Amino acid sequence: MTSAQAQPTAPTRRQRRRLEIELRLLDASKRLFIEKGYDETTVAEIAETADVAYGTFFNYFPAKSDLLAAMGEREVAELSEQLNTLSQRPGPIDDALTLLFDRFAKRLEAASPRERALAAKIQSITFAAAPADRDLGYQEAFAAFIRNAVTAGRVRADVAVETLADLVASAYSAMALSWVHMPEFPVRDRARAMADLLGETLAARGSSSTR
């Protein structure tokens, strides 16, 4: 007889309150960074916009730069959810990759110059000084996506999952880096080219393709 698995406990009122304040600070800081710029925004302005006391800010973020790291972690979490949803879609892998890169391209194209500047700041933190678990989280999001696709017979099984995941993750990161540092970067064209190439590379041997 097996013991019943422990059910996840619901967050306490205190935990919910802490999360609420943290999200308010993140939302307020992102809005101000886009409106005024990162360097021009003060912690006092963030606290006032989030409707929290100045000293409360430091209970959540030791420094203003920690907001950038938290924004990067939020983006990884959102990407992980997107990849999980895509991994459950029926159809060939190139369809999922096209959708993934096309959505990303549209998001980048719609960004304002201030949003591009903020993305550059976030990248400077997440790529240069990110904790190891953050990097692992990013890689694991793509690994889970590939692993599910291999199980479904949509991705080749003769190459290690980690290797294929590195290919997709690196292409995704490279597009973001190029967009930040090259104002005229043809993001839509490169996104389609990357999706096509990756789709051909990852497709299960003998599987049908929409191309």
Give CA–CA dist 107/118, Å, rounded.
14
Confidence of residue 136 (pLDDT cuts 50, 70, 90): confident
Which residue has tokens 């999001």?
141
User: Above 80 in pLDDT, residue 61?
Assistant: yes
Phi/psi at 180 (5° precision): -70, -40
User: Above 70 in pLDDT, residue 210?
Assistant: no
Which carries the bigger pLDDT value, residue 9 or residue 22? Answer: 22
Confidence of residue 1 (pLDDT cuts 50, 70, 90): very low
The pLDDT of residue 16 is 86
The pLDDT of residue 9 is 77
Q: What is the mean pLDDT of residues 100-127?
A: 92
Q: What is the mean pLDDT of residues 120-134?
A: 70
Which carries the bigger pLDDT value, residue 133 or residue 145? Answer: 145
Percent of the chain at pLDDT exceeding 70: 89
Phi/psi at 130 (5° precision): -75, 140
Q: Which residues contact 138 (CB under 8 A, 6 or more apart)?
A: 76, 79, 169
Q: What is the mean pLDDT of residues 23-34?
A: 97
Confidence of residue 125 (pLDDT cuts 50, 70, 90): confident
Which carries the bigger pLDDT value, residue 112 or residue 205? Answer: 112
User: ∠55-61-62 over CA atoms, to 5°?
Assistant: 80
Beta-ladder partners of 203: 155
User: Above 50 in pLDDT, residue 15?
Assistant: yes
User: Above 70 in pLDDT, residue 175?
Assistant: yes
Which carries the bigger pLDDT value, residue 11 or residue 46? Answer: 46
